[in-house]
Amino acid sequence: MKKDESNRGWKHRLHEIIYEADTPAGKFFDILLFILILVSVVLVMLESVKEIDIKYHNILLVCEWIVTIFFTIEYIARIIAVKKPWKYIFSFYGVIDFLSTIPLYVSYLFAGSQVLLAFRAFRLLRIFRILKLVKYIGEASQLRAALIASRTKIAVFIYVVLILSVIMGTIMYLIESDEAGFTSIPRSIYWTIVTLTTVGYGDIAPQTNLGQFIATVIMILGYGIIAVPTGIVTVEFSRAGKDQLNKRTPGFVHTNTQACPSCASEGHRDDATHCYSCGDAL
């Protein structure tokens, strides 16, 4: 029984260090982790620059191994420290942590495993935890709330924009010649979206007078259409902001950086005694 308690003791302590940022050790761990995540992302970038990779290949590989080993230990520790490991493993951060750890191991098995390196950047989202500023989390959740509230409107809007792009792309394909770059309908639709979103690369550009006239119409449409998502989001922000002013608003409560010792879910209320996700005591 004593063993069980001491066992629970070091697990509890591990949990505090890894998942929380209230103790000095927890804060130190979080900052160290963030620096290593940053280093891992920079490593991926440097390896992709040919001149640097040729010159410093061995140094980069050693750094990559150090990061990978730390990530491996951290990943295993996270699983051990949580009571219900599967909840963590299949959570958003659990999957990201796994995919950020394995690329180096997998690279010895498969050639195309570098794709997984892109997932490392997702780990940078942990900064919001590390900053440990409830303010930032509040702002982020307010942004998210406004975006979620305008979700259906934006979905309808994007769908209509896509249909418009297909129609306009087909028309442009029929008008413009292959020389101008409109070699197929998918490519013409690509051009239409490039124009409608006012990106305008110029790799494909209309040459005929009729094509240029329709391009003009698409541009003015795009110029006007951009007003729609802006209008939607602004109105939602305005509402979300007003809600926040009323302190007793049901939708918004203060949350802290505490993580559930069972399932590692975050964003608990300040006065919470049980996890909102698995029901275990905090």
For residues 36-95, which are near its own copies according to CB under 8 A?
Answer: 41, 44-45, 48-50
| Closest to its own copies by CB, 117 or 259 | 117
Q: Is the distance from CB of 18 to CB of 258 less than 8 angstroms?
A: no
Separation of alpha carbons 62 and 57, rounded Å: 9
| Closest to its own copies by CB, 193 or 263 | 193
Q: Which of 36, 219, 272, 278 binds its own copies (CB under 8 A)?
A: 219
The residue count for binding its own copies (CB under 8 A) is: 87
Alpha-carbon distances, residue 177 vs 42, 171, 182, 195 (angstroms): 44, 12, 6, 18
Q: Which of 6, 152, 177, 249 binds its own copies (CB under 8 A)?
A: 152
Q: Which of 232, 259, 260, 275 binds its own copies (CB under 8 A)?
A: 232
Smallest gap from Cβ 58 to its own copies, in A, equals 19
| Closest to its own copies by CB, 76 or 160 | 160
99 is an interface residue for its own copies by CB under 8 A: no
According to CB under 8 A, which residues from 238 to 257 bind its own copies? 238-239, 241
143 is an interface residue for its own copies by CB under 8 A: yes
Using CB under 8 A, which of the segments 8-16, 60-68, 98-106, 118-126 binds its own copies?
118-126
Angle in degrees, CA 209, 211, 214, rounded to 5? 110
According to CB under 8 A, which residues from 162 to 191 bind its own copies? 163, 166-167, 170-171, 173-174, 183-190
Q: Which of 18, 33, 81, 215 binds its own copies (CB under 8 A)?
A: 215
Using CB under 8 A, which of the segments 1-9, 11-19, 78-86, 149-157 binds its own copies?
149-157
Alpha-carbon distances, residue 103 vs 35, 42, 49, 64 (angstroms): 19, 15, 18, 10
223 is an interface residue for its own copies by CB under 8 A: yes
Q: Which of 224, 246, 250, 271 binds its own copies (CB under 8 A)?
A: 224
Separation of alpha carbons 247 and 254, rounded Å: 10
Neighbour tally for 211: CB within 10 Å: 18
Smallest gap from Cβ 214 to its own copies, in A, equals 11
Using CB under 8 A, which of the segments 62-70, 71-79, 192-200, 269-277 binds its own copies?
192-200
